[in-house]
Structures are given as C-alpha cells and as structure tokens.
Structure 1
Amino acid sequence: MKFSHSIQFNAVPDWSTHYIAYSNLKKLIYSLEKQIHQNAGTGSTDAESSPLLDGSIDDPDKVFTSALDNELEKISSFYQLKELEILGEVDSLLKDEEEYEHEQESVEIEQTQGPPGSRGMNRSGRARTGSIFGNFGFRRSSMSRSRDLEDDGDSDDDDDERSALTRSKIRERQSTWDSQHDELRNSTGNVSRRRESNADDFVEHSFASLYDTGLTLKKRIVSLYVSLCELRSFIQLNKTGFTKVLKKYDKILDRDLKSSYLNEKVNSAQVFQKNTMNRLSEKLEKVEHAYANVVTKGDIAEAKRELRLHLREHVVWERNTVWREMIGIERKAQAANMGIKQTVLGHSIDPREAVLQGDDPHPNVKEISTPIGRYTCPTWLLSPTFYTLVVILAIFFILLFIPLDLSREQQNCLAMVVFVSLLWATEAIPLFVTSMAVPFLVVVLRVVRSDQKPHNRLDSKRAASYIFGAMWTPVIMLLLGGFTIAAALSKYNIAKMMATFVLSKAGTKPRTVLLTSMFVAMFASMWISNVAAPVLCFSIIQPILRNLPADSNMSKALLLGIALSSNIGGAASPIASPQNLIALQNMEPQPGWGIWFFIALPICIISIVLIWLLLLVTFKPGHKTTIVPIRPMKDRFSGIQWFVSIVTVATIVLWCVSHQLEPVFGDMGVIAIIPIVLFFGTGVLTKEDFNNFLWTIIILAAGGLALGKAVNSSGLLHTIAGSITASVEGYSLYSVLLVFTSLILVIATFISHTVAALIVLPLVQTVGQGMSEPHPNLLVMGSVLMCSAAMGLPTSGFPNMTAIMMEDSQTGQRYLQVKHFITRGVPSSILTFVVVISLGYGLMIAAGL
C-alpha cells in the first residue's frame, strides 16, 4: 500500500487535517523537478510557471524545507495541545482509580463485619479479595430489581457490557458469596431476622453502587487507552511521513537533504523526541495497571490482552464506518469530476447524476415500452451480453442436432469447440469460466474415445478421469515456475533495479531513451511476463512523463514503444506468455530453451529496431524535447536478492539444457519445481504471494489443453486437418507457413493471444503432421511468434490495454488514443510478420524444426 493511502487509512479521522500533508508535499516535489528541468532547458526562470515555488528555484532545498517547516509546526502545535488534554485526563483517572480502590476495600470490610450499627454481627475480618468484577455477587433484593427496571430504558450499553464481561464471573462467585453469607448467618446466633435483612440490604446497596462506579471507571480507562495509542500512532505516522517524503525528494531531485533535516529539525522537535514516546509509554503502563486493579484482579497480562482487544474493536469499527463513508464520498466525487461513464450489465450510468440526485448508481430494473403496454424487466435482459449468449447457445444446439457427415462424438465435439471458441472470442462470460466448462461438456457430451483401436466412446467415469488428467501437465507446472520467478524478481525489486540501471545509461537523447526503454521492456517481458513488464516500465519512466508536456509526442512514443515491445517480448522465452507454453504442448519433441532463444531473440531484436524506426518517423519525438535522466536505484543487493538471483539464473540454465538432462529431470516442468520449493520453502515468498498468482491464466491454459485433448481424442481434429491438408496439397512448406501465420495474426488481433493459440495451434500441429514432408514444429513455432506480434488494436494484448489507460497526472487526460494503435500498431504487426516469414523461417530451418 502506498504511504499516501496508508496514512489516510490509519489516521484518526477527527485528527485527519493535523497529519503531515504527504500528497501535497509530493506534488511540490514534482513541481520543483519540472521547474528545474524546464529552466535547465530554456536557461530562464518563469515566475508564473509554478506558483507553488513563488517563482524561485535557485535553491530547491530552501523551498522544500520551508514547506516541511510549516508541516512540522502544524504537527507540533496540535500534539502539544492534545498531549496536555489526554495526559490531564489520565492523571484525573488515576486519582479516581485510587479513590475507587479505597472504597472497594471499605465495602469488603463491611461485607465481612457488617454495616455501622451491626459491627457485632461478624467478627471475622477478611482481606481484600481483588476486583469488584471478580468477587461481586449478591442475592438481588426487590429494591435492586426495581432499580434495574427503572434504569432499563437508558442503560443498554451498560447491560451489554455487564453481560459480556462480568456475568460469567458473577456466577462463578455466587456460590462463594452464598457460603460466606451462610457462615455469617450461623455466627450471629440469636440476632433478629429483621436486623439480618437490613444488613443484607445495606451490603447490596453498597456493592451495587461500587459496581456502577467500577463500570464507569472501566469505560474511562478503555477510552483513554485508545486515545494514548492514537497519540502514539500520530507520532509514528508523521515521523514515517517525514522520512519517506525526504527520501522521495532526495531521489527525484538528486539531493541530500534527508539526513540533515531529520537530525536538525525532526528529531529535535518535542513531538518526536525520545522522552515524549517514553512519557506516553509510562502513561500507557499506568493505565494498564489501573485496568488490572479494576477489572482483572491485578492480572497485568490479562489486562493488556483485553485492552488490545478493545483497541482492535475500536479501529475495526472506525475503518468500517467513518473511513468507509469518507472513501466512498471521495470516489464518487472523483468519478463525477472526471465524468466517467459506468456500465452495469449493459446499462450506461452517469455517476454525476446519481450522486447529485441521491440515486443508486446500479439500477437492477428498467421500464420499457411495448406495443401492448409498459413493463419492468431486469436490466441484464436488455444488455448486449445477454443477446450474445442467446445467439451462441442457439448455434450450439443447432450444431448438436442438425445432420452432419460426422460420427456422433465428432459432431458433439464440433458443437463444443464452436461454443467454447465463441465464448472465448466474445468474452460474454469470463474466459476462465469458459475454460472450467470444458471438462463438464466433454464428459456430458461423451466426446472422448479410447486411445486403442477400436476407438470406442468412453463412459462418463473414464472420460472424467481422462480429461482431468489432461488439464494438469508439465506445461502448467512450467507456468507456475514462471510465475514464481516473476513474483520473486518483482517483490525484491531485482527487476526494477536492473531496469533503472540500464535506463540510467541511456542519457538524455530522445531516440536513445526510446530504444533503450523498448529493449528493457522486451527483456523484462522474458522473465516477469509481458503482463507485469509494461507496468514496471511505465512506473520507471514516470519522471520523464511528468516533465514532458501533456501533448508531447515523446510521451506517446515512449508509452506505445514499451507496449509494442512488451508484446514482442512475449515471444522471447517459453515463460514470457501463456501462448508459448501452449505451443510447447503442441510440439513433439519439445524444443529446448537454447533452440527457442536461437530463433526468437533475433526476430524480437530486429522487430523492435524496425518498430523503433517507425515510431521515430511517425512521432518525431526528438523535436523540442528534453529528457530528464533516469537515476539508478542506489540500494545494494541484499542477501535475499542474491539468493533470488542465483536460483533464477540456475533455473534458467537448467531449462536451457533440459534436453541433455532429460534422463535426470524428465521434463522442464520438473525443473520448475526447484524455484517453487526454494522460494516458498525458505520464506522468500509467502502464501499471500502464492494466492496472488494469475490463477485465471492457469485455469484458462488448463481448459485449453483439455479442449485440445478432447478434439484430438474424438477424431474431429484429424478429420478437419485432413480436409485442410487436402486443400493445401501441393503447397510448399513456406506457403503453408504464410497461410497459418496470416490466419493467426488476424485472429489474435481481435481476440486474446492466449485464446487464439488455444484454438489454432492444435490444428496447425495436426496439419503439419499430415503433410508429405511433416514439419509440425516449424508451423507451430511460426504461428506462436505471430500470435505475440498481433498488436494492431488497444485490446490486442494486455500491454496495449495498460498503455491506453495511462493518464497525465495533472490533467487526467489519456496519453494515447485508439488511432495511435491503428496507425502504428498495425504497421508494426506487418513489419514483424515480414521478419518472421523471412529471417524466422531461415532460423527455424537451421534449427532443424
């Protein structure tokens, strides 16, 4: 969680304006950075360009220090007043607690010796037994019962707390009190029954009064304990805020202000002095002892446990009420300001209207007019998604029952393939949900046949075992190994440190920065997937984007270049994207990592250079553009980072030589277990990291593998491939490669790359196997390379979707539009296509595919 969000979430709501203005200080840092950069480029100072700086940036330390001083004064003044108020209440509480102790002792003496005027009744003196909550128990008289009835209307909270905290203890002590009472009664001898009744009433009234006083005192203790903890948290949060904002200032402006300001100003301020925290700790300790004396019979450990429970309940309540409302209001306001249109089940809603009118922005029903009247129906019935599902289901049932020249299992399989492919292509329901439906349809439609001749249809039980076995393969294990490595490299900033180091060497020439950024994105995509790589690179180039005009062509070229390079980088290694793993599943024998690098890396490098030239020609990013240099991260490699790096490199080396080590490991999927065991077993990664894996991608891949297995088992794939093979009979291998690479390029442009691979690659493999000169691996390899190169639309791959959502932090406007992807993405796809069918074909032939 970002600290700006953390300080909002952990601050005391009533004190929110008195915390360090972390977000405003960050904005000031960015303003200083931009102003310094602009003046460095123009050689002049514009007093109106940044009103936050008062027109002076000769000494940015002075400007920023002045802002910090204002924040420090605000925090110190508030703390002094709040400390005086709370500590005064604590002192008053401790005095009341001491008086309560004396009163409790006197009541216990009266319990054992009787009230004034009846001292002779009991001659057995007793020492104090502990908290009134622990030993309080008496038979309720009619007076006490009537008193309870009178107070019942306005003491719900007291009753709840009594029942929750003390009722069990009262019951435990009831028998003790009864035995004491019997002993006292026996010892009185001939005392009259009336005097005994008066004594009982007196003791009952004394204990009732004492109990109410103790309950009030307990509530005060809990309240002050929470206040003291909030005061301590106030100090800690603000101290952390000064540390973090100074660190950010030094990093962005390349200064060295942090240590001097912390030592001279922050640490010397009264609010942050060590004796201030010690004073709070002492008061907290005294409050804990007071709680122990009043509630837990002197048990300090139990008192601390109960007070922490009260504190936790207070924090949970506060976050679930006050902050939830505040955050909800803030989000609505942001949506209204930006004019975002929300779509709920196909119904377009303007949040500004909903907020202003007080309406629910998520209507569930809508009234429609028909020739026979007006009717109300659920909104999902009117959404395009619903009609799409209806059409797909209709096609599915038509294919199931119309007569075709296919066997029953093949016709059922054809209907299933079309049904699943349409759901994947339209995303009418989530992709992974469609994948989960594959084994269900396979079993219910009985499309699986036995592997041995005669190929009889399997019954449901054997079909279920067959298809679920096909969903977990070494490829899925390889995907998990790739996710593990990516998680470790990201969590410990190894990928970011490497990326910033390379970008820091790029200098300030726009064309060099653009090319370097594109290659960094490609390299990152090889190891942390082309899903995470663009996010990482976009965060690294934020200093550049902040200091460029909103309409700068350099900003557009950078974002688009990183997105297109991340797409290309998705083909650079077997674990870079899911479609590569699907390709490996359809290649026999599977090529090693060395062969994959031999083919893919030259294609990726040359394609990126060509795309770079295209961006230079079309955007002209160097025109009147000055780049802020990226600074490398100065942190040294820790022991954990070295461990992660060594394990990652060792795993990659083993993957590269997996064919030579096949007698030892058997498959690359087994090698993938090594980083999983080492990282999770040593605590480098936790179960939370494991839960954060892209399980939807894994389920999608597993469903695709199951679909391919079912299509092959039913014989449908063989039938379709036979027809296509007959159509391309007499075509050369190169011509068939052109057909399939063109086909998958078009398909993957409009639907997910992974989905395109799931649908097309099994067919490509079977057609290649059926050719007079079989080259199935070559066709699959060429097709999967083009699958990653499909990037002509904003929806063509996750990198493109990430890039088009990037916005200018000041104006809120998007950097890129759809036209930028069409005018640069489509030519980039064509350029990569040319590289694959020329250089790529030669490399695949040379590699023996």
Structure 2
Amino acid sequence: MKFSHSIQFNAVPDWSSHYIAYSNLKKLIYQIEKTTHQPGAADIETRPLLRDEDPDTVFSRSLDVELEKISSFFGVKEKELLDEVGELLRDIDLFEEAGRSGQYDTQRPALVQPSTDQVKRAGGPRSSRSAYSMHSTEDGVEDSDDDDQDETSALNRTRRPSAGSTHGRRRTLASARAPTDMTASTELTKSMRRHSVGFDDYAETAEFFSDGIMLKKRIVSLYVQLCELKSYVQLNRTGFNKILKKFDKIIDRQLRPKYLETSVDSSYPFLRETMRQLEGNIEKTEKAYANVVTQGDETLAKKALRSHLREHVVWERNTVWRDLIGMERRAEAASLGKGLLGASNDGTKVRLQGDDAPVVSGKEISTPLGRLTCPTWLFGSTMLTILGIIAVFLVFLTVPILEKQEQQACLAMLIFVSLLWATEAIPLFVTSLLIPFLCVVLKVVRSEDAPHRRLGSKEATNYIFSAMWTPVIMLLLGGFTVAAALSKCKIDKRIATFILSKAGTRPRTVLIANMLVAAFASMLVSNVAAPVLCFSIIEPMLRNLPYDSNMSKAVIMGIALASNIGGMLSPIASPQNVVALGIMEPPPTWGQWLFISIPVGIVSLFLIWILLLITFRPGKGTTIVPIRSVREEFTGLQWFVSAVCVATIGLWCASHALESTFGHMGVIAILPIVVFFGVGILTKEDFNNFPWTIIILAAGGLSLGKAVESSGLLHTVAAKISAEVHELDLYVILLIFSSLALVIATFISHTVAALILLPLVYNIGKEMEKPHPNLLVMATTLMCSAAMGLPTSGFPNMTAIMKEDATGERYLSLRLAMARCA
C-alpha cells in the first residue's frame, strides 16, 4: 500500500488535518524536479515557488511548516492528556480510600454499577442518585445523552464541570463500545460491601459500584488516547523519513540524514525523553486499570486494555478503513486487468458489493414456474457466437469428411477449440480444460501398440491427463519461480536501472538502452512483467518531458515492441516457447536456443530502433532526466538469489550434456522451486499468485497436440499439405508457414496461434523428403512472438496503449500505435 494511503488508513480520523501533508509534499517534489531539469518549462505558479533557490532550501521550508504544525498539535494534546492522567490518579486514590474506610463521598464522580445480587439483597428500587444511567449490552456500555463529549477532538474541546463533582473535571468516555467487565467489577468490591439491607445502604452501595464502572471507562479512554498519540508521533516520523527519501531519490540530493538529525529528531514530539514520558503515562494507566479492575494483575490489565484499543480502532475508523480497502482493491483489480471483473468478451458484468460475493447482473424473464434471472451474456452477441461455434462443431462431427471416425471427431474438436480460442467467447484456460473432456468422450485417442484400436474411456483418461503434465510444464513453473524471486528481491529493477543509468541523456541512446533492457527483462521475467517494470523505471523521465513529446511516444513504443522481441529470446520467455520445446524432437538446449534467438533479436531491435528514430525524430528539443541507479549495496539475500538463478540457467544451458543425470530441463527446474520456497524467500502466497491460467492453457495445448497426433489426423493433414508443397524449396515452405503464423498471431493470442500451428508444422516438416521439423517449428515460434501489428496483438502492446500521463491522457493514440506496429 502507498504511504499516502497508509497514513489515512492508520490516522485518528479527528486528527487527520494535523498529520504530515504527505501527498502535497510529494507534488512539491515533482514540481521541483520538473523546474530543476527544465527551468524554461516552469509554469507561472511554480516559478515564484522556487525563485532560483536551492531545491533543498525550498523543500526544507515546506517541511518546517509541517513540523511546526505537528509540534503545536502534539504539545496541546499532550498537556491535555497529562492533566487528565493526574486527575484520574487523584480520583483513584479517593476511590480506594473510600473503599478502605467503607464510606462513600457523594462529591466524587460516579464509577461502578451494582450487581444483580445486591439489588435483590437491598430489596428496593435502584437509587436515582446515580450520576449516569448505564445500559449493559452485548458489545459493551452505552452512555446516555448526558455526556456528548468527543474524546478525539484535541484542540476544540471545551471543559465544563461535571455535575456533583468538586474537582470540576470533564467526564470523557473512551468509546460507546467499551465493554464492561461486570465480573471484575463485582469481585473488585466484594470486600468493600456493607451488608445492611436498608434503602439508604443500598443507594450508597449502588453509587459506589457506579463509581467503579465510570472510573474504568475513564482509564480505558485515557489509555486509548495516549496510544493514539504515540502512534501519531511514530506515523509522522515515518512520514518525514519516507518523503525525504523520495526527495533525495528524485532530485538526487542527500537531504534526509541532515534534516532528520538537525530538525526532526531535535523537535519536541520526536525526542526520546518525550516518548519515554508518553510511555510512562501509558504504564500508569495500565497499573491503574490493574488496581481498579483486575485486582493487581498487570498482565491481565494490559491484555484487557489492548482489547479495548482494538475495538475502539475498529469502531472509530470502520468507514475510513472500508473506503481505503475498497480503493486498494479497485487499484489491484485495475492492475490485473479485466480478469477480476469478468471475461472481456462475454458481455457479463460483475458488480462487487463490499465484501459480498460477486453479483452477476442479469435479465429477468417470465417462465411458467415464475420469474427467472439469467446472465445478460445469454442475450448478447457472445451467446450467438457460442451457439454458432457449437453448430459448426456438430456439422463437422456428423458430416463425413474423413474415413476414420476418430479422425473425424478429432477434426471437429480441433475446429471447435480453435474457434473458442480465436473468439475468446469463454476464457482461454476454460477452453483448454474442455480438451481432455472431449478427447475422452469422443474417443479420439488410439492405442500406440495397435494403431487402429481406439482406447476406451479409462485408458484414454490416463493417456490424455499424462499428456497435460509433462516436464515442459515443470519448466514453465521453474521459469515463473525464477522470475518471482528476481522481482521480489528487486534484482531485476536494480539491473535495469544500472544499465539505464549508463545511457546518458542523448535521446537515441536512451531509446535503444530502454529497448535492450525491456528485451533482456522479457527474456528473464517474461514479456508480461517486463513492460510494467520498464514503464515504472522511466516514469521520472516521462514526467519531465514536455506535453505531447515525441520522445515519450518513441520510448513507450520501443519498450512494447522490444518486449515482444524479448519473448523469443529464451525458452521460458513466453508460453509459446515452452509449447515448442514440448513438440520438438529432440528439444533444443538453452545454448542452442540462445544461439539462434539472440542474433535474430539483436537485428530486430536494431531495425525497430531505426524505424522509431525515423518516425518520431525524438531528439528535437528534448531534455532527458538521467535515470539513476539504486544506491543501496547488494544484500546477502540478493546475492544468494542471483547465484541460484545463474546456476539454474547455467544448468539449463548445459542440459544436453547433463541429460544422463537430469533427463530433461523440467527436472532442473525443480531446484529453484525447492530452494526459494524451502528457505522462505517465496511463500505460498507467491505460489498461489503464479499465472495458473497460462499453465492450464499450455497444458491444454500439449494435450490437444497429443490427441491430434494419436488419432492420426495430424499425419493425414500433414501428408496432404506436404503433397501440395513437396516440389517447393525448403525456404519457400519456411516463408509460407512463417507468414501464416505472423498473420494469425497478429489477430489472436500468440500462445493460441502456437498451440494451433506448431503440431501441424512439425508433422509437415516430418513428411518432407528431407525432414526439417525443428526448423519449421522454431521459425514459426519466433514469428508468433514477432506478430505485433495491432495494439491487441500482445500484452506489451496493450500495456503501452493504455499508458497515461499525469493528466489522464494517453501517450499513444490507437491509429498511431497501429501504424507504427504494422
């Protein structure tokens, strides 16, 4: 959670205006940054603010104002609470003195309530002399309208003498929800009761018990307010530390150590003596509670007071917490995309109501059994699409096209899932889960021993599910684990900022450096996380570029296109690469893959860089803020994670030589999983946050390839296509299928295109006179990653097209993005 939200989340609601103005100070930092790097671009409001002064002086002046505000409020609040602590301790002394002497002073404030046993023994009605009418509830004690004071109004509170009190103290309640410990109150005064059953004796005893309860409420109130004041100091101290750290990072200064030492730590609220005095008063309230309520048990008293504090916080800040949690959830949902709000194309709208389960909006229809609410997507274009796909499936299932029934059924299934994937009528991973179901029900799997015998349902189930979980899936999990560890320890960001810090301020150099970093990050942490990482790193540079700058457009498009290219650079960079590894026989090692993909990637990046320079001419009138590397030293944890990742990648590269030991790269992938999760660097939450939809999608594609191969359909189709192209040259065939992959992957998901095309391409390569299946598969896989002609062609493109500036305007227009990507 951002600290600007955290400070609202943890602040006392009635004191909200007295905390450090963190958001305003952050805006000031951005103004100073922009004026420092582009003096001529400063607006009319910013120029008088700076007046050619040193940024440290300008920012320190604003911090001094905040520090004075905090110190003034703290001084007033502290004096008020310390006075109340003194009054409380005097009242406790009077209360204990009255208990020891057995006499009751009617001038003291009312504090405890009588028990039911006393009312029965007294034989009379309750006395009307009680200062407060109390109502014991399940949640606690509610006080009457007689006391309407707010215990959290620090500066505007007026004192008025309590009725019947010679001390003139103001009665303050901790919370309307403060629970009453009636058992403790009864035990507390057993030894102090007088056993007369007369009305006067009962009235005196009842008044004495009322005194005990009200005294307990005062102790709880003071304890809560003292704890809130302590939290006030700690939260503001953290605020100063964080805002100064942000200032030093953005403006490249060293103000934080100096200002904290000379100004913040020497200010009265942040002195160690002040904190010790505050903690001493908290201890006094705990001892007072122990003496009055828990019969001297301080451990029990602390536990009870902390319970009161928790209940008070929940009660007083319930609305603030709920609003802020909702804000964080909305931000998280926005960052994760449409998946949390429903499928993007199914027309279903999901409405989240607080903490309730998602409610799917629907349309009511009348039936003989009553009114029925149906999801809206049943009446939209998505439903028509699904019905059309089912109709096509039934046609191919019933109309005889191929001689063998299992091949006919497999063709119908292949067309059915391909259409569902292409239209995204239902989520992609759901379509993948349909594949094993259809394979078993349609009986498309044949025996390997007897190729003409179709397997029964039980045998087919074992075969198809074993095809879904292969070493390739474990390799994918290993890749996700390495990426998660690098990201969690911020190693990827450190490497990226280090490289970009060396790029200087020349626009063309900065552009190619960002593209290289994006491609390298995509190679290690996938082309889904890479653009998000790179955009966060260049945010200061974008913030300081002029409005509608060509440089901002060029660098955003460069990162997106480079991330797509980076998706082809390593076997774990994208799911289509993992699918290709599962199809190719023998699968290429990491070294072989890098030997092919790195030159292709470098040439592609260079051509894209030239195109962006020609199109945008980003060097005209552009002043670039240099990106600074992280100053903190590499920690021991980061060194350990780096060593494990490098060792894993090294073993992957040497997997062919180590085949007799490990058998497959998927076995090597188990090592980082065991190490990172075993030592606690990654947790089960990280494991649960893996993109399991991609894993299911890849597993479904692998099972589909196995089913199409087992049924003989793949061999039949490949033989017919090979007969048509057998006279063509190998490189002509390569060009045809590469172009086909490029076109298909531009309009549908790269992974889906690979799932559909790669098994077919592999078998066509096997059926050639001079078999080259791996060559065709490798080329097709690389072309799937290179398909980026539309803003929707891949996740990097979608991230780039949605990138907005500080005013909420997109950096790229749809027409511009389509023209440049194509």
Shorter-chain TM-score range: 0.7 to 0.9
Residue 83 in structure 1 maps to residue 78 in structure 2: yes
Alignment of 1:259-658 (within 5 A): 259-317=257-315, 320-325=318-323, 364=361, 379-658=376-655
Aligned equivalents of 1:236, 1:348: Cα separation in 2: 46
Residue 818 in structure 1 maps to residue 797 in structure 2: no
- Offset of 1:671 from its aligned partner? 1.0
**Residues 219, 394 of structure 1: CA spacing in aligned structure 2 closer, same or farther, 3 A cutoff?**
farther
1:235 paired residue among 233, 236, 239? 233
Alignment of 1:146-165 (within 5 A): 158-161=137-140
- Offset of 1:218 from its aligned partner? 3.5
Which residue type is aligned with residue 687 of structure 2? F
The answer (yes or no) to whether the contact 2:518–2:566 under 8 Å persists in 1 is yes
**Residues 282, 666 of structure 1: CA spacing in aligned structure 2 closer, same or farther, 3 A cutoff?**
same
- Offset of 1:168 from its aligned partner? 10
The answer (yes or no) to whether the contact 1:137–1:171 under 8 Å persists in 2 is no
The answer (yes or no) to whether the contact 1:345–1:379 under 8 Å persists in 2 is no
- Offset of 1:301 from its aligned partner? 2.6
Aligned equivalents of 1:426, 1:55: Cα separation in 2: 56
**Residues 711, 46 of structure 1: CA spacing in aligned structure 2 closer, same or farther, 3 A cutoff?**
closer
- Deviation sequence 1:667-710 (CA, Å, 0-9, x none): 11111111112222222222222222222222222222222222
Which residue type is aligned with residue 715 of structure 1? G
User: Could you tell me the TM-score, scaled by structure 2's length?
Assistant: 0.84
Aligned equivalents of 1:71, 1:9: Cα separation in 2: 19
Aligned equivalents of 1:637, 1:222: Cα separation in 2: 47
Aligned equivalents of 1:679, 1:367: Cα separation in 2: 51
The answer (yes or no) to whether the contact 1:737–1:779 under 8 Å persists in 2 is yes
Alignment of 1:85-234 (within 5 A): 85-103=80-98, 138=117, 141=120, 158-161=137-140, 199=197, 209-234=207-232
The answer (yes or no) to whether the contact 2:348–2:376 under 8 Å persists in 1 is no
Which residue type is aligned with residue 73 of structure 1? E
Which residue type is aligned with residue 592 of structure 1? T
Unaligned runs of 5+ in 2: 105-110, 142-176, 352-357, 366-371
User: Which stretch of the first structure deviates more once superposed, 731-740 or 528-537?
Assistant: 731-740
The answer (yes or no) to whether the contact 1:137–1:173 under 8 Å persists in 2 is no
1:64 paired residue among 59, 64, 76? 59
Alignment of 1:35-74 (within 5 A): 35-39=35-39, 48-51=43-46, 53-54=48-49, 56-74=51-69
Partner of 2:163: none
- Deviation sequence 1:683-738 (CA, Å, 0-9, x none): 22222222222222222222222222222223332332233223322223212211
User: Could you tell me the TM-score, scaled by structure 1's length?
Assistant: 0.81
The answer (yes or no) to whether the contact 2:527–2:567 under 8 Å persists in 1 is yes
User: Which stretch of the first structure deviates more once superposed, 70-79 or 713-722?
Assistant: 713-722
Aligned equivalents of 1:101, 1:60: Cα separation in 2: 60
Which residue type is aligned with residue 8 of structure 1? Q
Aligned equivalents of 1:204, 1:448: Cα separation in 2: 91
1:677 paired residue among 674, 691, 699? 674
Which residue type is aligned with residue 789 of structure 2? G
Percent of aligned pairs with the same amino acid: 61
Residue 694 in structure 1 maps to residue 673 in structure 2: no
User: Which stretch of the first structure deviates more once superposed, 396-405 or 255-264?
Assistant: 396-405
- Offset of 1:585 from its aligned partner? 0.4
User: Which stretch of the first structure deviates more once superposed, 617-626 or 398-407?
Assistant: 398-407
Partner of 2:6: 6
**Residues 714, 173 of structure 1: CA spacing in aligned structure 2 closer, same or farther, 3 A cutoff?**
farther
User: Which stretch of the first structure deviates more once superposed, 138-147 or 410-419?
Assistant: 138-147
Partner of 2:252: 254
User: Which stretch of the first structure deviates more once superposed, 465-474 or 204-213?
Assistant: 204-213
**Residues 9, 432 of structure 1: CA spacing in aligned structure 2 closer, same or farther, 3 A cutoff?**
farther
- Deviation sequence 1:264-300 (CA, Å, 0-9, x none): 1111111111122212211222222233334434332
- Deviation sequence 1:771-819 (CA, Å, 0-9, x none): 222111111111111111011111111111111111111x210101122
Aligned equivalents of 1:101, 1:415: Cα separation in 2: 89
Partner of 1:34: 34
**Residues 345, 773 of structure 1: CA spacing in aligned structure 2 closer, same or farther, 3 A cutoff?**
closer
- Offset of 1:483 from its aligned partner? 1.3
Aligned equivalents of 1:104, 1:438: Cα separation in 2: 81
- Offset of 1:657 from its aligned partner? 0.4
- Offset of 1:558 from its aligned partner? 0.2
Aligned equivalents of 1:222, 1:632: Cα separation in 2: 50
Which residue type is aligned with residue 622 of structure 1? G
User: Which stretch of the first structure deviates more once superposed, 19-28 or 434-443?
Assistant: 434-443
Alignment of 1:12-31 (within 5 A): 12-31=12-31
- Offset of 1:143 from its aligned partner? 7.3
Aligned with 2:140: secondary structure?
helix
**Residues 313, 417 of structure 1: CA spacing in aligned structure 2 closer, same or farther, 3 A cutoff?**
farther
**Residues 47, 718 of structure 1: CA spacing in aligned structure 2 closer, same or farther, 3 A cutoff?**
closer
Aligned equivalents of 2:745, 2:794: Cα separation in 1: 9
Partner of 2:801: 804
User: Which stretch of the first structure deviates more once superposed, 222-231 or 275-284?
Assistant: 222-231
Unaligned runs of 5+ in 1: 40-44, 111-130, 185-194, 352-360, 369-374, 827-849
2:747 paired residue among 723, 745, 750? 750
The answer (yes or no) to whether the contact 2:397–2:409 under 8 Å persists in 1 is yes
User: Which stretch of the first structure deviates more once superposed, 25-34 or 609-618?
Assistant: 25-34
**Residues 97, 139 of structure 1: CA spacing in aligned structure 2 closer, same or farther, 3 A cutoff?**
closer
**Residues 78, 132 of structure 1: CA spacing in aligned structure 2 closer, same or farther, 3 A cutoff?**
closer
**Residues 761, 515 of structure 1: CA spacing in aligned structure 2 closer, same or farther, 3 A cutoff?**
same
Aligned with 1:576: secondary structure?
coil
User: Which stretch of the first structure deviates more once superposed, 465-474 or 28-37?
Assistant: 465-474
- Deviation sequence 1:643-676 (CA, Å, 0-9, x none): 1111111111111001111111111111111111
**Residues 155, 379 of structure 1: CA spacing in aligned structure 2 closer, same or farther, 3 A cutoff?**
farther
RMSD: 4.0
The answer (yes or no) to whether the contact 1:137–1:170 under 8 Å persists in 2 is no
Aligned with 1:138: secondary structure?
helix
Partner of 1:846: none
Aligned equivalents of 1:295, 1:413: Cα separation in 2: 78
The answer (yes or no) to whether the contact 1:365–1:379 under 8 Å persists in 2 is yes
**Residues 9, 727 of structure 1: CA spacing in aligned structure 2 closer, same or farther, 3 A cutoff?**
farther
The answer (yes or no) to whether the contact 2:503–2:509 under 8 Å persists in 1 is yes
- Offset of 1:59 from its aligned partner? 1.4
Which residue type is aligned with residue 298 of structure 1? G
Aligned with 1:452: secondary structure?
coil
Report how many residues are paired.
761
Aligned equivalents of 1:667, 1:104: Cα separation in 2: 82
The answer (yes or no) to whether the contact 1:13–1:323 under 8 Å persists in 2 is no
Aligned equivalents of 1:533, 1:401: Cα separation in 2: 47
Aligned equivalents of 1:438, 1:320: Cα separation in 2: 47
The answer (yes or no) to whether the contact 1:478–1:672 under 8 Å persists in 2 is yes
**Residues 753, 87 of structure 1: CA spacing in aligned structure 2 closer, same or farther, 3 A cutoff?**
farther
Which residue type is aligned with residue 141 of structure 1? K
Which residue type is aligned with residue 633 of structure 2? R
Partner of 1:189: none
